[in-house]
Amino acid sequence: MTEERENVGIVIVSHSPLVAKGAADMVRQMVGDSVPLAWCGGNPAGGLGTDTGAILKAIEEAWSEAGVAVFVDLGGAETNSEMAIEMIGKGRAARIIICNAPIVEGAVIAAAEASGGASLAKVVATAQELSPS
């Protein structure tokens, strides 16, 4: 592992492992190993869906003391991610943010921002600029 652990981590959670992996590949192409990155997709039985346990594991994998930005696709991915963040414990939960941004574009832009050493708040804000609210 050669990741620079000061950089914010990125987690990608999709209902589909192919989508999650594909988005993660695009992030890697952009930032290499400079950003901690993990993805998960699919339900506990391997079908389309999301898996709180897998999300917990992905957050652990991409953990950075600077925090983690999570990108999700549809509703269940968000709800399961929120559940995972609650289960990970208060100390770290405060440093994990689910971004309101498109999963692919959001993750790539966030990773680019993170690779420059930006704070979690800045990384999240940059990704969320993609979603007019």
Partner 1 sequence: MIVVRDPRPALNPSALMGRVIVACRDAIVAQEAYLSDLDRAIGDGDHGINMRRGLDALAAEQHRLAGMPLSEAMSAAGTILVMSIGGAAGPLYGTLLLEIGKGLAANPSAGIAEVFQQAVVAVARRGKSAPGEKTLLDVLYPISDELMNNTRLPLLAGKIQGFADMTIDMKAMRGRASFLGARSVGHMDPGAASCALLCAAICRELAEADVA
Closest approach of partner 1 to the CB of residue 42, in Å: 8
The reply on whether position 47 binds partner 1 by CB under 8 A is: yes
For the purposes of burial, counting CB atoms within 10 Å of the CB of 68, is it exposed (0-12), middle (13-18) or buried (19 or more)?
A: buried
Tell me the DSSP string of 54-75: HHHHHHHHT--TT-EEEEE-SH
* Whole-number Å distance between alpha carbons of 22 and 19: 5
Which listed range, 22-30, 76-84, 89-97, 119-127, lies at the site for partner 1 (CB under 8 A)?
A: 76-84
Which residue among the candidates 13, 15, 35, 66 is catalytic per the annotation? 15
Residue numbers annotated as active site = 15
Which residues of the chain form contacts with partner 1 (CB under 8 A)?
43-45, 47-53, 74-76, 79-80, 82-83, 87
